[in-house]
A = this chain, B = another copy of it.
């Protein structure tokens, strides 16, 4: 019988895959928590009405998992986090303290054709700063995005932060007498520019604005943000009029982080200011700025730049009983070793030492020791480092110092 496969377009995370996820998530966590962002979450199930006319219409209409539950409610598996955090801020607007800094590392769902970097379930860091308008808040969010890259091991010239402004775009369009109801469609078209052929883009733009023309110059908000970032030592930023982002809810600066690797030049992730979304869920606006970064692009970046370290199961000892009758004494010793803060995986089988070692290697465990009568009577173990082959003899109570316990 053929084993049942995972659902199409989603991933299984075996421990070696999960270790990579955790490595990425830990870097994200360190970055955002150092700026005082606090973790929050909600359910992946949301009422469909949460997204109606908020997120990009294309995403809602064609790319969400939406179904009717047994109680006739329309439910959507969240395709992004922003509507959820906006709803939650709107609900407790008065009780919350501002500046409010929230983050989450959670999963999202889009019903797309699976392709490289675009899966039906993906994980994302979301970080948002609420209650503050102006360039200092904008600069902090970009600095946090930059810190995530640094915690992942990127150097400043491995990436560039391109900053645009919805505000500047809208002002210029108004100055050119291009009517407001076309602004969303124009932004959406500019967002797709890099994926279109030049003449195709020009034609589509002409359909929208006719004989009008517009040129967007670096606006005051972008200049201020870039100046603050520079004072913090963040110099890998540029103004880019073509950065507008796909979501309809952005109102001010928008930014995208680009890989500078010549073979992999592309937008990795981004964010921006959205000052009207929370008001649309409640009675009053709360200014907000945030960004989101996906796990797939992060892993891809680490691999492309060869900065993903090999991740063994550290702090862990595989303890192999020599014979069946050593099993219970080995289990008792394992408990004593755990008291010293070392993780112990007990090799619960009667096997040759070579087979035990093979198992420990398959498990990705860092340290190995045999337990027999000699170890029992001497109260010592010979700890083998499976990466280096190095062996150290230690007493049971001093194993912690050999296994380089982290905490």
**A binding-site residues for B, Cβ under 8 Å:** 1, 3-8, 10-15, 17-19, 21-22, 33-36, 38-47, 49-50, 65, 67, 69-71, 73, 75, 87-88, 90-92, 95-102, 107, 109, 111, 120-121, 131-132, 136-137, 140, 228, 231-232, 281-283, 313, 316, 318, 327-328, 331-332, 335, 338, 343-349, 358-365
Contact = CB atoms under 8 A, between A and B. Distances in A.
A41 B69 contact: no
Contact of A99 (B36, B49, B88, B349): B349
B36 A360 contact: no
A46 B364 CA distance: 27
Contacts of A71: 8
A35 B343 contact: yes
B42 A22 contact: no
Given A12-B42, A43-B10, A362 B4 contact: no
B347 A136 contact: no
Given A1-B282, A36-B318, A136 B97 contact: no
Contact of A39 (B4, B15, B91, B231): B15
B99 A43 contact: no
Given A44-B121, A348-B137, A111 B8 contact: no
Contacts of A121: 43-45
21 contacts: A3-B90, A6-B43, A7-B46, A7-B73, A7-B75, A8-B73, A12-B88, A13-B40, A17-B40, A18-B39, A19-B39, A21-B41, A36-B313, A45-B109, A65-B69, A67-B67, A132-B349, A136-B328, A136-B348, A228-B328, A232-B331
A335 B31 CA distance: 12
Nearest to A50: B4
A34 B231 contact: no
Contacts of A136: 327-328, 331, 348
Contact of A38 (B1, B15, B33, B34): B15
B349 A4 contact: no
Given A1-B283, A100-B363, A40 B15 contact: yes
Q: How many copies does the complex hold?
A: 2
Given A12-B42, A136-B327, A5 B359 contact: no
A44 B44 contact: yes
A46 B99 contact: no
A34 B100 contact: no
A69 B5 contact: no
A60 to B, nearest CB: 14
A101 B289 CA distance: 42
A5, A6, A39 — which one has the most chain B CB atoms within 10 A of its CB? A6
A40 B18 contact: yes
B313 A38 contact: yes
A272 B283 CA distance: 52
Nearest to A334: B35
A19 B101 CA distance: 14
A97 B140 contact: no
Nearest to A76: B7
B33 A343 contact: yes
A282 B2 CA distance: 6
A183 to B, nearest CB: 24
A10, A41, A100 — which one has the most chain B CB atoms within 10 A of its CB? A41
Given A39-B18, A71-B8, A231 B328 contact: yes
A99 B321 CA distance: 13
A129 to B, nearest CB: 8
